[in-house]
Amino acid sequence: MVQLPKIIAEYAESFRGLLFPNLCMGCSNVLSKNENILCFICENSLPKTNFHLETENIIFKRLYGRILIENATALFYFDKGNTVQRLMHLLKYSNKKEIGKYLGSMLGKDLLDSELYKNISSVIPIPLHEKKLKIRGYNQAEYFALGIAEAMKINAVTNVLQRIENTETQTGKNRFERWENVKDAFVFKNESTIENHHVLLVDDVVTTGATLEACAQHLMTIPNVSVSIVTIAFAH
């Protein structure tokens, strides 16, 4: 016999759904009961790179000779006006932190199927400066890292890298200017936490790779640390 409180709860949930339906963050259509964040159509149309299956993809080659990373990948291609741009804008500026974990879980499951990422020990998000963190309220890269870590069943480590310079925006700068803007922006805390680890360094988007390069170089000075890089999107 079905308990009355359970029936009431189900009716209440159905009524809430009528008043405040869950909408797809890609196309704004109403989500079905089995959909989350994105409808199946939007999710299946996302422009995945599948770089996690390639040893020398375009991101790896872009960083080759600048830092000795193990591997590099991005979940999606980024183009102006596409669904990926919309998701990243919602994640970064509209307090939709759940998008970060959703996309992180998606990538984490892909990485589990790749031999290149089998020995990852921990996930580290690129940190925000405390002033920017206070304004935004959260670090979007951290939520992406949390999603990856949960899917891969490893730790997300947020107490190793600290951003000490509140650098100006990278938009409009060339590769050298971007590097100069961030090369002294980071310091260590608790570096012994990741000694002997293969670290997955996480950011939201890679363009020239200057910020990732600066962080990776710092991490590689810790004893026996190797670094792979992942981002939500690759601006090509």
* Residues 36, 100 share a domain: no
Contacts of 99 (CB under 8 A, 6+ apart): 25, 37, 87, 90, 91, 143
Per-residue pLDDT at 186: 81
Shared domain for 103 and 182, answered yes or no, is yes
Task: Indicate if 129 and 64 belong to the same structural domain.
Answer: yes
CA 217 to chain centre: 19
Helix (H) or strand (E) holding 199: strand 198-206
Q: What is the pTM (predicted TM-score) of this model? A: 0.85
Residue 222 belongs to domain spanning: 46-235
Clarify whether residues 179 and 199 are in a common domain. yes
**Which two structure tokens, joined as six digits, stand for 170?**
């990278």
Positions of the chain with pLDDT under 50: 1-2, 11, 15, 17, 170, 176, 178-179
Residue bearing tokens 């308990």:
3
The count of domains in the chain is 2
Single out the residue of 70, 91, 102, 79 nearest to residue 230, CA to CA. Answer: 70
Q: pLDDT by residue (tens digit) across 85-120?
A: 999 999 999 999 999 999 999 999 999 999 999 999
Same domain, 30 and 97: no
